[in-house]
Structure 1
Amino acid sequence: MVSGEGFIVSVSKVEVVAPELPMQEHWLPLSNLDLLIPPLDFSVFICYKNPSSMSFPSMVGSLKNALAQALVYYYPLAGEVVTNSTGEPELFCSNRGVDFVEAVADVELHRLNMYNPDDTIEGKLVPKKKHGVLAVQATGLKCGSLVVACALDHRIGDAYSANMFLVSWAEIAQPNKPIISAHPCFRRSLLFPRRPPSIDHPSLHDMYAPMAALPPPKFGVQSEPLISRIYYVTSDHLNRMQALASSNGVKRTRLQSFSAFLWKTVAEAAAAGVDGQRKVVAKMGVVVDGRKRLSNGDKNMGSYFGNVLSIPYGGKQVEELVEKPLSWVAEKVHEFLEMGVTEEHFLGLVDWVEAHRPVPGVARIYCGHENEEGPRFVVSSGQRFPVSKVDFGWGKPVFASYHFPWGGDAGYVMPMPSPIGNGDWLVYMHLFEGLLSFMESKDPQVFKPFSWDYVLSRH
């Protein structure tokens, strides 16, 4: 039993859900791109408003039955990560199954403070993965609403992979949709290194380094704690950012425009010395999915389950980011992104990891140096988060978000589509508390704390 902001979560049952048709035990190596991911879990939680047609026990039963079937297709999720003889992580497809937690919370959906997920979600509505690769929790609320949450080992898959699994799981649960629309691909040969390897591209050495050559990421060690917040940003404000970020006939994407706006805002906070010390350089990375870059006519890449990520980044003087117009900042975002959006970059990254194995590599944006000053953060993209497709048979979600208080000393930002489908965004931010306070006070019309009035009145 755990307590949250004025409510208590009571665990009623914990069991292991195994695949309906177990496979023969076997080993599945992690790809070179998986090996770039440190041992971290990320979570996603999905809220359903009072599905009156079904009781909590019947919904849980449906979730478990569908999960057992989904694990036949997604069999690695029923396995365990172990360390092999070279000291590298490897996936043992053991058919162990997935820990499934049933819980009840004495709170109504509209009373959950989603603006502050550290108090409402962390350790309460999202499971703490203790075994295996995946953990699931279903929590029934006082009003009859339901929260479904998952915690996944990031070394096994990225957000794209989690999205595929969630959609397949939901499709299987629906009574009139017995088959899944897309089958996951676990062919590690799609990410085999080249012979001979080619790691001469300067972007590889600018963006990544062997762990032995850098101070390790300071997981769990910060001078100031990073905290999580969820905001909603309206389509009108996103359109204005895009207009200001575009110039000379070049239209920037919404993600590039928002990232530029955020980079500039973080620089303004650093220039103002919000943590008591003026900083000189602000660094921002943007997560790039390499599936389209590596597809080369192979349809399997579009359904590949694993990590296919790179994190190009840029660092600029704080004063420069503050003084220059948003269009200039957006141009700098575009420039450093260009280094990480090509097929050659991803092929080279696979080769780069191979050249340094078994020494693990790490994205430089995550590793600060004692002689470097300034904030660092990463912007991911949850725009493909399939909120409307995660319907287990009792209606579409009214709210869903990733949750990733990852413990490093670099910030993390994840923009996602609003469940309303009107072009607005929900934005999960894991940043320093002083920085978030600065952003809210400087641009309160942009960074609006999430409230249930935003979605429940529209459902």
Structure 2
Amino acid sequence: MGGGDFTVTVSRKEVVAAVLPVQEYWLPLSNLDLLLPPVDVGVFFCYKKPHDLTFGSMIGVLKEALAQALVSYYPFGGEVLSNSAGEPELLCNNRGVDFMEAYADVQLQNLNLYNPDESIESKLVPKKKHGVLSVQVTELKCGGVVVACTFDHRIADAYSANMFLVSWAEMAQSKPLSVLPSFRRSLLNARRPGSYDPSLDDMYVPMSTLPPPKAPQSGDDLLINRLYLSQPNSSVYSNH
């Protein structure tokens, strides 16, 4: 079977929000985040057929754990909108995460993981249309499962996305979160505001205050730079 020679049928779409209410507020992006274009990144995980769980029961566990994880990772349940200045900002409003259930008529062993652009992208990894995060859980013909996520890279880099995935997995196993995220921007403020000595102002002057350049006079000692190119396989010499 070719890498992308299979069909995927989406059987259910819903939105999973945090299990607890979240106070709505705006979270501005940093200057570095504003440099990034609106790019989405995807990640997927493949699992063999479980012996003691049906696909329906796995879906229920994943959705319940996702709703619990979004309580601590509430920005992942928000959406990016434009502020009055036209800049993107994250609105933490508990909009929720788009969650899709699907079926693919392909065996796990036949997935061409050496070329995921052909076999995985746009088939098993969802396209994010709304919000910050989209999830697709796909049952394979052999009973295996593929769990895929698509993140807004402006909101989640690789490190923060990995933190969320680990916390989601811990919730699914009824474990406490090993690491709690922090969204307090004040932690990045300098303890001692930066300052500079006034003497630094004497090191620079405006270009407009410089006298106009003088025309060269005969007899002036001018610096002349010449480049000489020799025959092939030779070097370039500079004479000053």
The 2-side partners of 1:33 and 1:171 are apart by 31
Number of the residue aligned with 2:181: 184
Q: State the SS of the aligned residue for 1:33.
A: helix
Cα offset for 1:58?
0.7
Partner letter of residue 190 of structure 1?
Answer: L
Return closer, same or farther for 1:60/1:52 CA change in 2, 3 Å cut-off: same
Does the CA contact (< 8 Å) of 1:45 and 1:148 recur in 2?
Answer: yes
Deviation at 1:22, TM superposition (A): 1.6
- Alignment of 1:57 with 2:42, yes or no, is no
Please give the residue correspondences for 1:323-402 in structure 2 after superposition, counting only pairs within 5 Å. none
Q: CA deviation at 1:78?
A: 0.6
Tell me what 1:301 maps to: none
1:50-449 map, 5 Å = 50-175=49-174, 177=175, 179-192=176-189, 195-196=193-194
Q: Which amino acid aligns with 1:94?
A: N
Letter of the structure 1 residue corresponding to residue 14 of structure 2: E
- Offset from partner CA, 1:35-80 (integer Å, 9 cap, x none): 2322101011001111121111111111000000000000001100
Distance 1:139 1:160 in 2: 25
Flag the structure with higher helix content.
1
Give, in whole Å, the separation in 2 of the partners of 1:32 and 1:6. Answer: 43
2-structure distance, mates of 1:197, 1:87: 32
Q: CA deviation at 1:188?
A: 1.8
2:212 aligned partner: none
Displacement of 1:105 in angstroms is: 0.4
CA change 1:4–1:22 in 2 (3 A) is farther
Structure 1 spans left out of the alignment, 5+ residues? 199-459
Change (3 A) 1:33 1:192: farther
Residue in 2 that maps onto 1:213: none
* Deviation (angstroms), 1:192: 4.4
Using the alignment, how far apart are the partners of 1:181 and 1:77 within structure 2? 18
Residue 184 to residue 192, structure 1, CA distance change in 2 (3 Å)? same
Q: CA deviation at 1:33?
A: 2.6
Report the count of equivalent residues.
194
Q: How many angstroms apart in 2 are the aligned matches of 1:168 and 1:45? A: 16
- Give a deviation string over 1:188-241, Cα, whole Å, max 9, x none: 22334785589xxxxxxxxxxxxxxxxxxxxxxxxxxxxxxxxxxxxxxxxxxx
1:49·1:144 contact (CA, 8 Å) conserved in 2? yes
Secondary structure, counterpart of 2:98 in structure 1: strand
Q: Please give the secondary structure, in 1, of the residue aligned with 2:31.
A: coil
The Cα offsets for residues 315-363 of structure 1, whole Å up to 9 and x where unpaired, read as xxxxxxxxxxxxxxxxxxxxxxxxxxxxxxxxxxxxxxxxxxxxxxxxx
Which residue does the alignment assign to 2:218?
none
Deviations 1:278-321 (CA, angstroms, capped at 9, x unpaired): xxxxxxxxxxxxxxxxxxxxxxxxxxxxxxxxxxxxxxxxxxxx
Of the two, which has the highest radius of gyration? Answer: 2
Distance of aligned partners of 1:169 and 1:136 in 2 relative to their CA distance in 1, 3 Å threshold: same
Q: Please tell me whether the aligned partners of residues 78 and 134 of structure 1 are also in contact (alpha carbons under 8 angstroms).
A: yes
- Letter of the 1:134 partner, please give it: L
Whether the aligned pair in 1 keeps the contact of 2:3 and 2:111 (CA below 8 Å) is no
2:225: which partner in 1?
A: none
**TM-score, normalisation: structure 1:** 0.41
| Shift in alpha-carbon separation, 1:58–1:38, aligned structure 2, 3 A | same
One-letter identity of the residue aligned with 1:189? S
1:36/1:189 Cα in 2 relative to 1: closer, same or farther (>3 Å)?
Answer: farther
